[in-house]
Amino acid sequence: MTLKTIFRDLTLKTLEKLSTYEKVEKLNSIGLINTCLVDKILKFNYENKIGLYRIPTNLLPFPTHPSAMEWNWREIFKPCFEHTGKLAKDFGIKISFHADEYTIINSTNETVFQNSVQTLSYLSDVLDFMGVKGRIVIHIGGVYGDKNNSIKRFKSNFNKLPKSVREKLIAENDDKQYDWKDVLEISKELCIPMVLDIHHYKVNNLHDPLTTKDVKEIFSTWKDEKPKIHLSSPQNKKDLRAHAEYINIEDFLWFLNITKIFDYDIMLEAKAKELAALKFREDLKYLIKT
DNA sequence: TGAAGTCAAGGCGTG
DNA sequence: CACGCCTTGACTTCA
């Protein structure tokens, strides 16, 4: 059994050709198709004992764009999200979002920061409507030629965010700029959990190799919550950053070896999505048996 | 109905 | 300086 998980979308150009009435109709229709798809995925995950799900940020089309301001999705979709949230809770599936690359909390441009606040509020409100204790993953952002100042700006801008957003954010190490030590320091100071992405770690690590002690410190940022890591495999040797279809079990074993004493969730970032998750689990089972 | 070109946004690396 | 990349690509147009 495979899932066809194609989330509907539309281009701005198409949207702007429509009358106000047509716009709302179109946006509603796409939003509804996508939320129904989420319900279907949750059901699939439950049946296949997959305990996590990351909802794509394009769940709703143009949720924060000026050209769709007349669309009051919060009012219209509240019951939908309540229903979806109830499913997630009944199935025991943890929900999360990953803010897109345009969400930059530490931007030097105030407009970019304000747009980021809008996007984060959208994601936060969806989680609140769902009534789940979901998380929103973010990266630290740009460096702008001065990492120390950019980290400072991240921290001060973080504190300008609405409380409802702040309490959902979790920070992830990235593959180019902010490595795990940078993010750990920031996470500790802001008291937010850190998601360790072990693929990004391998691509971008300026420090010593990760030890069990380091992982313990990273996991301690989660307090009473079960920690989560991100796992993916590179597309190919040349293009290390892009995600492959499936997970190569080798990319996890080294980490498993230093974390056997811990209990944590694994979010897979693989293009084959649910198929990759099922295969990963089979590979792991086979390996442990032999 | 298929393939090819296009798509809101930022920051960074590459040619 | 223009372009591609990142995101679990998808939409739109044109044969």
Strand B-proximal residues of A, range 73-132, CB below 7 A, are 100-102, 104, 107-109, 111-112, 115, 119
> What's the confidence (pLDDT) of residue A290?
73
Segments making up each domain of chain A, as ranges: 1-172, 194-290
Evaluate if pTM is beyond 0.85. Answer: yes
**Vertex A176 angle, CA A170 and A178, to 5°:** 40
| Pairwise CA distance, residues A57 & A98, whole Å | 7
- Count the residues in chain A: 290
Is 1.10.101.10 the CATH classification of the domain at A1-172?
Answer: no
Q: What is the pLDDT along chain A (290 residues), one digit of tens a residue?
A: 567 778 898 999 889 989 999 999 999 999 999 999 999 999 999 999 999 999 999 999 999 999 999 999 999 999 999 999 999 999 999 999 999 999 999 999 999 999 999 999 999 999 999 999 999 999 999 999 999 999 999 999 999 999 999 999 999 999 889 999 999 999 999 999 999 999 999 888 766 789 999 999 999 999 999 999 999 988 776 667 778 889 999 999 999 999 999 999 999 998 888 899 999 999 999 988 77
Nucleotide nearest to A199 (CA to C1'): C6
| Closest residue to C6 measured CA to C1′ | A101
Q: What angle do CA A42, A48, A49 make, to 5 degrees?
A: 85
- Burial letters A210-225, b for 16+ CB under 10 A, else e: beeebbeebbebbeee
Nucleotides of C under 7 A from a protein CB: 5-13
Q: Is A61 exposed, middle or buried (0-12, 13-18, 19+ CB in 10 A)?
A: buried
A258 CA to B8 C1' distance (Å): 43
